[in-house]
Structure formats: structure tokens, C-alpha cells
Amino acid sequence: MKKAILAVTVAAAALSAYAGEGPGGDPFRSAESAVPGTRIDELVLAELTARGIEAAQPSTDAVFVRRVYLDVIGTLPRADEVRDFLEDTHPDKRAALIDRLLEREEFADYWSLKWCDVLRVKAEFPINLWPNAVQAYAKWLHDAIRANMPYDEFARALLASSGSNFRVPPVNFYRAMQGRDPSTIAAAAALTFMGVRLDGWPEGRRAELAAFFSRVAYKPTAEWKEEIVLLDPSAMTPLDAVFPDGQPVHIEAGEDPREVFAEWLTAPGNPYFARNIVNRVWAWLMGRGIVHEPDDIRPDNPPVNPALLAYLEEELVRADYDLRQVYRLILNSRTYQQSSIPRSDSAEAETLFGQYPVRQLDAEVLIDALCGLFNSRESYLSMIPEPFTYIPDYQRTILLADGSITSPFLELFGRPSRDTGLASERNLQPTDGQRLHMLNSTHIQKKIEGSWRLRQLVETSKGDTERVARLLYLHILSRYPTAEETAVVKQYFERGDVTRAEAAADLAWALINTKEFLYRH
């Protein structure tokens, strides 16, 4: 760690120009795009141009590197990673970085977290998966994402597995919900894999879908909290059912209706399956679904850009349900890489993706970023139900599998309760309590004051305030300061009534409280 910091120190000092900056010292916007236009851009621009909306300018390298780390791996780039990227002169360096990030271990960490939200992974009330099953389920999800399991296979495993909740972890899909009746299961399956809220469907269609889940049985074992999910062995009759698209199907006795449903759902051309997931991925990366909200797909809530949605669906099927390919397409587009600073006053500029939307960091990502910057740790534990769960304090918060294990910080910053699986459970609206906490709590103040890394950075900079500014900007905001910002910092250090260490702590405090830090932008 020490080595890395020193390496950055030297390189930063050697840099004469501020790399990653746009014209006129603009840290956020570039005059020219660093990447070629793609099919996504054509489709987005077609909608924007039709309404006379001008898309935002391209982002600078510095904005891009921070954004893509946060979006793809839920992790702040280290200072040396930022510097390396800014100094890299290859014309395709953005695409290369995207490819590297998609292979990082943290990709699986961060996207497991997102999937655990969708799938309500939680040991306690009201989901009651219990700790052992939570660990098994979360590990299975992590492994599947890490191995890039094709998405159709992933869905089939969750929908059609049978066996023990400890040994066949995907069966926990049928346990992670607030009820075990066919209609509750149908609602969870529809929300997860079709992006549909079943309470909006007419009674008859709801019952048709529930029929596919009418033969799910649960059986306890002699092991504490172990449970087998299986096809109801007492169901000896054939079943006539109707798929959500209106097609009837005859299911023989002994055949598992869940498998029949999963086959229908994941067949190419299914009207719900690919559409739901590409819309979700788009919403995760672009802050807003093409159908918004991303889990409320219905005929009277049409996509704002149908051609774009259709294109992404086709690409997913063409890539044999390789989700990373869809990430790659979106991340490499100019649309994703544009600035968050709008060029149009139109409200549609945001809904039609004419700028990258700013949004608050996820609670888990924020606390990890703070811990990483100031080399501090958070500890999590659960005293009930037994067995006690202790999480080692060096483990990052994005890896916290169990939604029941929490902290006042995570609660305050809008972590979802994982009761429903709705995307809107994650609350990214600022609150007064959050602001109080960031500005004035001992929790945050202690992280800053207790940071050996910050102390070391000040000490090794001797009396060079510019260097302190450059390093703190690089670590915290993933860019170098502008000339004006450097001047402001120098002035603060020269006030005289605070020590250099205090001034550096205040600068760190100020930077983590800027919008630039608190928001993805």
C-alpha cells in the first residue's frame, strides 16, 4: 500500500499538465468524443433530434474513469488506477478499461448485491431465509455471476430447481418471499423475470400464472432449518394451464409445471424475458429504464424508445444470453459516456437519455469508498437468530449477503429492506439526516482523523500544498484539481489558525461532501 502511494506521489508531482481535462480547464466536459458512435447512439439521438433536444457533451477521461468503476464494480478507482488511465494514450483505452472491469472480482461482488436486492436475500423478517440458506444462496449467485452463467440458464436454475436449500441453493428463490401460496410465488416470478407487477393484472390471468406454481411443495428435514423444495408428490393428475401470452399448455402428471413455465419464459422470442432484463441493465447503468420504472412493464407504460429496447433484446439473444455483452454495448456507447451536464432545458433530455443522470451513491458503495479512502473499517454482526453471524471487519460492505445484517449508516443512506424486491426500495433521495451525518458525525470525523494514509500523505508532501491538493483530489474525486481549485486550497492552508494536518483533514472532509463525490456523475 505504501509503495502504491509513493508511486502515485512521484507521478503526480511529475505531471505538468492536468490530464483528463476538457478545453478551458473544464474537468467534466470534453469538446470531442473519445469513442466512435454506436447503434445505441443512433437510436437515442434519433429520439432526441426528433424533439430538437441536444445531447450533452462527451465526458472527460477523468469523469469516465470514476463513473465506469462505480457503475461496473461498485468501487472507487484507486489513485494509481486513475493516473494510469489518464496517462494512457491508446485511442481505445476506454473500451479496454471496460473489458478489464467486466472481468474484475468486484464485478461479481457488486452485481451479487444487486441481485440479492432483486431476489430479497435476507435471513430474517419478513423473508426468513435463515442465515445458512442466505450464505448458500448468495454464494451461488456470486458464483453464477462470476462465471458469467448465461442469463437464460440462470433464470431456469432459479425457477426450476428442486432440492435442499443448503445443497441446491437456487431453490431458495421459492423461499425468499412473504408467502408460499401459488399466487405469491407467481407474483415474485413475474416481478423478477418479467418485470411485471402482478397486482395490476386481471384476476383470471393472475390465476392462470399461479397454476404453474401450484405444485411446489416444501418439506423439512432433521437438519436445523434445512428444507427441501420439490414437485408436490401427491399431485397425480395432468394440469391444463395457460401461459401469460395466452397459449394453452397441457402438462402431464409427474411433469413439473415450473419447468414448463421456465422453458416457455426462456425461449427466444418470449415477449417478456429478454425485454425485462435488458431494461433492468439499462436502468442500472443509465439510472432510468427505457420502460420506467424498470419493474413496471405493462401496455400502458410504454418504452420511451421502443427501437432501442428492441435492439438490446436482439443483441442479448444473439449473444446467447451473455449479459456482459449487453453491459459492454451500453458502456461503450457515447450515450453512456456523455457528460451529466445537460445542454438542453427540456425535461425530456433526461427521460430520453440526453445526458448521464446524476444519482447518489448506493449506501454500501459509499461506506466502502469512505473506508477505502481513509483505511478504516466497519463491523457487522447479527446476534439473532442463532447461529450468530460475524462478518470480518476487513470484508467490504458490498459483499454483505444478508439484508438483515445492517448498520445505522446503511439504514440512513437508503439501503433497501429487501421486503418486496421492487427497485424503488432502494432510496437514493437525499435526506437531512444523511447530510447531518456526512457533515457532522463523529463516525465520519473519526474516519478522517484516524487515517494514517491521510497523515502520511501530508507528511510526505512536506510543505507542498499543491501536492496535497493534487493527491487528495486524485484519491477522492479521481481527477486533478483545476487552477482555481488549487488556489482555493492554498488559501485555506495559509489561513494560519489551523495546522497543516487539520487543513488537510478539512480538505478531505470538504471533498467527500461535494456533490462530485456523493453522486455518480
Partner 1 sequence: MTRRAALRRGVFGAAALALLDGKRPVAAAAPADTRAKSVIQIWMWGGPSHLDTFDPKPDAGSDYCGPLGESLATNVDGIQINAALPRLAQQADKYAIIRSMTHGVNAHETASYIVQTGRHPDRLVYPCAGAVVALFKGYDQGYAGIVPPYVVLTEPQGRFSEAGLLGQRYKPFATGGNPSREPFVVEGIVAEGIPDERQLARRDLLHALDSLGRAMPGNEQFARLDACEENAYGLGEARRLFDLNVEGDEMRDRYGRNTFGQSCLMARRLVEAGVPYVTINYKGWDTHKQHFEIMKRKLPELDQGMATLLQDLADRGLLDSTIVWWGGEFGRSPKVEWGAPWNGGRQHYGKCFCSVVAGGGFQGGRVLGASDARGEEVAERPVYPLDLIGTMYELLGIDPDGPLPNPRGLELRVLPEPGDGVPSGGRLSELI
Q: What is the DSSP letter of 474?
A: I
Question: Which helix (H) or strand (E) covers residue 373, if one does?
Answer: helix 363-373
User: Quick check: 238 binds partner 1 (CB under 8 A)?
Assistant: no
Q: Which of 23, 200, 306, 433: binder of partner 1 (CB under 8 A)?
A: 433
Q: Burial level of 437, CB count in 10 A (0-12/13-18/19+)?
A: middle
User: Quick check: 298 binds partner 1 (CB under 8 A)?
Assistant: no
User: How many Cβ atoms are within 10 Å of 395's Cβ, its own excluded?
Assistant: 14
* Separation CA 143–CA 428 (nearest Å): 28
* Separation CA 247–CA 245 (nearest Å): 6
Q: Which of 234, 237, 247, 429: binder of partner 1 (CB under 8 A)?
A: 429
Q: Which of 52, 432, 463, 483: binder of partner 1 (CB under 8 A)?
A: 432
Binding residues for partner 1 restricted to 25-64, rule: CB under 8 A: 27-28
Contact assessment for residue 278 and residue 312, using Cβ atoms and an 8 Å cutoff: yes
Task: Using the rule CB under 8 A, give the single segment among 203-211, 230-238, 303-311, 494-502 that binds partner 1.
Answer: 494-502
Cis peptide bond N-terminal to 299, omega within 30: no
Binding residues for partner 1 restricted to 187-216, rule: CB under 8 A: 187
Q: Which of 32, 252, 494, 497: binder of partner 1 (CB under 8 A)?
A: 497
Mapped to the 3 state alphabet, what secondary structure does 100-156 carry? HHHCCHHHHHHHHHHHHHHCCCCCCCCCCCCHHHHHHHHHHHHHHHHCCCCHHHHHH
Q: Which is nearer to partner 1, 167 or 495 (CB)?
A: 495
Q: Which is nearer to partner 1, 230 or 508 (CB)?
A: 508
Cell of 502: 487539520
Q: Which of 124, 255, 293, 322: binder of partner 1 (CB under 8 A)?
A: 124
Q: Which is nearer to partner 1, 84 or 502 (CB)?
A: 502
Residues facing 217 on adjacent strands: 230
List Cα–Cα distances, 515 to 68, 314, 325, 333, in angstroms: 17, 37, 31, 25
User: Quick check: 490 binds partner 1 (CB under 8 A)?
Assistant: no
Task: Using the rule CB under 8 A, give the single segment among 34-42, 74-82, 297-305, 496-504 that binds partner 1.
Answer: 496-504
| The residue to which cell 468524443 is assigned | 33
Provide φ and ψ at 229, rounded to 5°: -105, 130
User: Quick check: 510 binds partner 1 (CB under 8 A)?
Assistant: yes
Residue type, 386: E
User: Quick check: 125 binds partner 1 (CB under 8 A)?
Assistant: yes
Q: Which is nearer to partner 1, 275 or 342 (CB)?
A: 342
User: Quick check: 24 binds partner 1 (CB under 8 A)?
Assistant: no
Q: Which is nearer to partner 1, 126 or 254 (CB)?
A: 126
Instruction: Fill in the per-residue mask, 444 to 463: x = in contact with partner 1 (CB under 8 A), - = not in contact.
Output: -x------------------
Q: How many residues bind partner 1 (CB under 8 A)?
A: 64
Q: Which of 223, 408, 490, 501: binder of partner 1 (CB under 8 A)?
A: 408
Least Cβ distance, residue 397 to partner 1 (angstroms)? 15
Q: Burial level of 71, CB count in 10 A (0-12/13-18/19+)?
A: buried
Contact assessment for residue 16 and residue 89, using Cβ atoms and an 8 Å cutoff: no
User: Quick check: 180 binds partner 1 (CB under 8 A)?
Assistant: no
User: Quick check: 301 binds partner 1 (CB under 8 A)?
Assistant: no
Nearest to 361 by CA among 512, 471, 142: 512
Q: Which of 341, 346, 371, 466: binder of partner 1 (CB under 8 A)?
A: 341
Binding residues for partner 1 restricted to 366-405, rule: CB under 8 A: 384-385, 404
Spatial neighbors of 502 by CB under 8 A, at least 6 apart, are none
Cis peptide bond N-terminal to 385, omega within 30: yes
- What residue ranges bind partner 1 (CB under 8 A)? 27-28, 124-126, 128, 178-179, 184, 187, 340-342, 345, 358-360, 384-385, 404, 406, 408, 411, 414, 417, 419-420, 427, 429-437, 439-443, 445, 482, 485, 488-489, 492, 495, 497-498, 502, 506-507, 509-511, 513-516, 518-519, 521
